[in-house]
Amino acid sequence: MSASTASAESTTPAASTDSAPAAVGPMNLKIPITGVVVLLLQGLMTLGAHGTTTFGLTASSDLFRLGNPVLNARLVILVTAGIVAAATAIALDRARRRSRIPTWATVLIGVGFVIAFLTWAGAGRNGVIPLVTILSSALGLSVPLVYGSLAGIIGERSGTINIAIEGQLLGGAFLGAVVASACSSPWMGLLAAPVAGVLVALLLALFGLRYRVNQIVVGVVLNVLVSGLTGFLFSTFLSSSPSLNQALRLPTLAVPLLSRIPVIGPVLFRQTILVYLMYAAVAILSAMLFRSRWGLRLRACGEHPKAADTVGIKVMRTRVANLALAGALAGLGGAFFTVGSGLSFDDDMTAGNGYIALAAMILGAWRPLGSLGAALLFGFATSVAQTLPVIGSSVSPDIISMIPYIVTILAVAGFVGKVRAPAAEGVPYP
C-alpha cells in the first residue's frame, strides 16, 4: 500500500468525525407552556369581565397625585393577553433554537397575569383595587420570609441543613416582645430578637454538627421545642403579666423626598428600620457570598469540606460561626411579627413562615436576590388574597385562601429550572 493511500485512509475517520452533527439538547418548554396556560386563563377572565375596574394609585402624602384610573376591564385583559402572547412566542422561538429565554419575557408573562387577574377580580365592583396598599402589605408579609431565606442560604451554603428557621423566627418574636415590654422600648426588643435566633442555631450546631444527629430531625425537633416552650411561657407568665407582652412598634422612618414618589415611595421608602436592614442584608450578602474571601470559604465548606480543610479552612468553626450568623438574621425576621408590626406576642404567631422561607430559598436557587424575589412573590399573593374579600370580589373564599400556594407551585413548575443544592449540605465533617 502506497503512502498516499495510507494517508487518505488515516484521514477519513477524522473527516467523518468532524462532519458529524453536534448533540442537541432538549427544548426547555416550561416558559412557553406557562405562557399558554396564562393565555387560556386570560381568555376565561375576558368572558367573565364586565364593566370597569378602578385602581387606587395615590397615597395622601405623595408629591403629586396620579388619581384613581377607571379602566375598561375587558380591554385591559385583552391588552395584557396580547403582551403575554408576544412574550410566549418569543420564548417558544428561543426554546426551539435551544437558546436562553430572556428574563424579561418571563417577567412579562407573570406581570401580565397579575394585572389581568386584579382587573378581573375588581370588574364591576363599587370598590377600588388599592394597589399601593397591596404592594405595601406584600412587602411587609415578605420581610420575615426574606430574613428566613437568607438564614437558610448562609447555613446551607456552609453545609448545614437549617430546618429550624421556624423556631428561630418564633424565638425572635417572643424575646423581642418580652424585652421590648420590660424595657418599654421597641429598640431593645430589636436588639434582643437576634439573641433568641442565635441560641436556637447553637443548639442545632451542638446536636447536628458536634454529635452528628440527623440535621433534618434536629431542626424539626427544635421547631417543636421552641413552639412548646414559647406556648408554655405565653400561657403561664405572659397571660398573667400583660406588662411583659405589650404591643410596641418601631417607628416608621420616611426617607426624605423618596417616600413621596407616587406608588413606589410609600411602598419602599416609608418603612421601619427592619425593612431597611433587610435591603442592606440582601445587598451585602449578594456581594459577599460570591465576591469575598468569607464567601469563598463558606461555599467551600458546603461544596467540598475535605478540600477546604486541606487548604487550612477550619470547617467546623466556619459552619458553627455562619450558623450563628444565620440564626441572628432569622431572629431579626421574628422581630417583625412583634415590634416590627406593633403586635403583642401570640402563641405560634409565625404560622409556618419558617417553612415557607425554606421554599423561597430553594425557589431562589440558594441566592439572595432569587430568594428575595420568591419571598416577594409569596407576599404579593398573600396580600392579594387578603384584599379580595375587602373589595367585595365574587371569587370563592376557598380559592382565595389557596392563591398564595397555587402561585408558588406554578412559579416552581413553570419558571424555575433545575436547581442544585450545595453538594455537602447535611454531611458531617470530619
pLDDT tens digit string along 317-364? 999 999 999 999 999 999 999 999 999 999 999 988 999 999 899 888
16 or 173, which is more confident? 173
Q: What distance, in Å, lies between the first and last C-alpha atoms of the chain?
A: 64
Question: Is residue 130 predicted with pLDDT exceeding 80?
Answer: yes
Which one-letter amino acid corresponds to residue 216?
I
Tell me if 375 sits within 8 A of 263, measured CB to CB: no
CA distance 382 to 47: 26
- pLDDT-derived band at 50, boundaries 50, 70, 90: confident
Question: Is residue 384 predicted with pLDDT exceeding 70?
Answer: yes
132-375: in CATH 1.10.10 = no
Question: For 199-215, what is each residue's pLDDT tens digit?
Answer: 999 999 999 999 999 99
Phi, psi dihedrals of residue 295, rounded to the nearest 5°: -65, -40
Question: For 396-427, what is each residue's pLDDT tens digit?
Answer: 767 777 777 777 776 666 666 667 889 998 98
Angle at which helices 165-183 and 186-205 pack, to 10 degrees?
A: 150
Per DSSP, helices labelled H in 125-214 are 131-157, 165-183, 186-205
Burial of 377-414, coded b for 16+ CB within 10 Å and e otherwise, reads: bbbbbbbbbbbbeebebeeeeeebeebbeebbebbeeb
In the chain, CATH 1.10.3470 sits at: 132-375
HSE-CB at 377 with a 13 A cutoff on CA atoms is 26
Strand partners, 254: 270
Whole-prediction pTM: 0.88
Tell me if 218 sits within 8 A of 208, measured CB to CB: yes
- In the predicted model, what is the mean pLDDT of residues 24-38? 81
Tell me if 332 sits within 8 A of 274, measured CB to CB: yes
CA distance 341 to 94: 45
